[in-house]
Amino acid sequence: MVLRENDMLRNLLQTLSSVHTDGKRLDVVFADRSFVVDEDTVAVSTEIDADVELSEADELLFVVDALSHQAWRIRLGARSEFEKFVCDYPTAPHVAGVVRSLVEKVYVDEQRTNEFKGLRQTVAFKADTIMADDDRRPPLDTLPREAALVEGVYQLALAGHVKGIAGINNDDRAFLGQTRRHLVEARCEHDATRRQKRARRVTDELLSRVAVSKFADKYAKEARFPADFTSGVRSVPRGEVDPITARVVLGDALRDISSTLVAVSVLFTSSVLGAIRRLLEKLQIVALLRWAAKKSGILGAWRWLLRTFTPGLINRPSEEEQYKATAAALYRRLTAAGHSAEGFLTANGTLPPDIAPKQFNRNVLRSTHSARFRQRPSGR
């Protein structure tokens, strides 16, 4: 395993979790298996369910997809009454938990891949990688019957097919065929009660076919199948800061995860909107201070305060100040040229209200040039 469980990875996962929860940031803890801790926390495992060599980017792909799946379980509420369901099978609680979890798994994966189409490639990559390991996911004809039936349900939920089906008896093949139909129909079954009924049918059928249920339950426990009632969260020491490389976080791994593009957009948009909001708030405060200064008659004191605390904003002249400055400049230029400002300025020495300062800036030189031309001696 290349990825290390540290604060940097945890922070990355917590940031990406908001993509799948309508903006809500989840707490992330590391555990041996991935599951929902509560409505605000998910446990994520960095252990890959396959004995294969993967790059850091591929491992990150596995971990982020596990995060996505658990976040969607919270979003869809696809984890209700698990403990009650498991308690109904005291002789095989792990089998019941695995089957119930797998039925919810196919439903959750169908919903999240419908919204994020790019995740379908990720889910398929994970399934192919896991199924390629015959030690972790062995062909059914190499296992005892109790174990083969449990393994078959898992492989159907994971990849839609099983390995070694040709070597098992017809009765067990018929059971797996029925189970596959239940799983396919559960993908679009939005009623949690109906999904639970499908899980119960599969569990009852499976246990009715094994002579000793504890053997099947032992395999379900030791084979490390996902189960929502599993506990055993472990935290990462705060001092452990062996970071994943920036190349992986911002390079190959993020490029392979379609939902990451959405995460980057969400983070960038949030930052921009936050900056705009803060700027608007600042401008509103400045406008309020100016208004109060004018109304209270202590403009000089307010202007001093504004220059002190917001120099960049207060030094920008107002429209009224621009008019006065332009009028004064125009008056000086016309006077220097020996001409009256009459017709350009009002009796109070200000610009006419229907003319903007920019118009005068364009016409000043032309006006003064014309005035100088008219004053040239005729006998030169």
237-260: pLDDT as tens digits = 434 433 333 333 334 344 434 444
Q: Which pTM does this prediction carry? A: 0.60
For CA atoms 46, 50, 56, 60, give the dihedral sign: negative
Q: Which residue has the tokens 């400002």?
A: 341
Candidates 101, 166, 106, 162; CA nearest to 137 is 162
Round to whole Å and give the CA distance between 111 and 189: 10
How many CB atoms sit inside 10 A of residue 191's CB? 8
338-350: pLDDT as tens digits = 444 444 445 455 5
Round to whole Å and give the CA distance between 98 and 191: 19
Average pLDDT for runs of 10 along the chain of length 380? 78 87 88 88 85 81 90 81 87 93 94 89 90 91 94 95 94 95 95 94 95 91 67 40 37 41 46 56 58 54 50 51 58 52 48 49 45 44
Per-residue pLDDT, 292: 56
Q: Which residue has the tokens 């009028």?
A: 327
